[in-house]
Chain A
Amino acid sequence: GENVEQHPSTLSVQEGDSAVIKCTYSDSASNYFPWYKQELGKRPQLIIDIRSNVGEKKDQRIAVTLNKTAKHFSLHITETQPEDSAVYFCAGIFSSNTGKLIFGQGTTLQVKP
């Protein structure tokens, strides 16, 4: 069935370094892959997304790459800053019938000043 695995569960980096979070999925009928950021005590908010017909998308310091053959997609954050510290969730929509968004387990990113 549809499943999204996210790694690592926690990630600690020094300010200015890059951070990479990877997600793999099991269902090849994939359409759309958003990434959400959840700051402490707040709601998840969309930060970037990618469709299945695109291999890479960039927005300032964040980028997402998609490898459909290998069934994985990754979030890349460059020049990390303390305000990037949060929980990040990947997600995917695998059925256009239900439109159900399936989330990964989340990655807690800590950026040390």
Chain B
Amino acid sequence: EAQVTQNPRYLITVTGKKLTVTCSQNMNHEYMSWYRQDPGLGLRQIYYSMNVEVTDKGDVPEGYKVSRKEKRNFPLILESPSPNQTSLYFCASRLAGVGETQYFGPGTRLLVL
């Protein structure tokens, strides 16, 4: 089944404890993104990647890191999480090209205490 997967789905952590949220897609998509969703603010892009080893900042990159060593995986790393990073995170992927459908992962709900 073609899909985008994320893990974990739910995570409670404490300030400063490094964490990684994994994202994987099996559709051979070139383009992958991370978004955070907060009430009233919609979906804001954190980082995106246009292909392997090509990543760039989105609108809200502060406090996050990403890597794209393989085409299928695009992990999101929070080196030192803070409470303002408490949010719902979505990974997404699509083929390169303007009119291609973007598919979202199931989401990761993160609470930073």
Contact = CB atoms under 8 A, between A and B. Distances in A.
Answer whether A and B are interacting partners: yes
Interface of A: 6, 9, 31-32, 34, 42-46, 49, 51, 89, 93, 96, 98-106
Contacts of B106: 42-43
Given A43-B104, A43-B107, A103 B98 contact: no
A43 B43 contact: no
Contact of B90 (A32, A44, A99): A44
A34 B102 CA distance: 9
B43 A98 contact: no
Interface of B: 31, 33, 35, 40-45, 48, 50, 56, 58, 90, 96-99, 101-102, 104-107
Nearest to B58: A100
Contacts of A102: 45
Nearest to A103: B43
A98 B56 contact: yes
A1 B98 CA distance: 19
A31 B98 contact: yes
Contacts of A45: 104
Nearest to B106: A43
A69 B90 CA distance: 33
B41 to A, nearest CB: 6
A105 B43 CA distance: 7
A107 to B, nearest CB: 10
A10 B33 CA distance: 27
Contact of B99 (A6, A32, A98): A32
A34 B98 CA distance: 11
Given A43-B90, A44-B90, A89 B98 contact: no
A96 B96 CA distance: 10
Contacts of B40: 9, 105-106
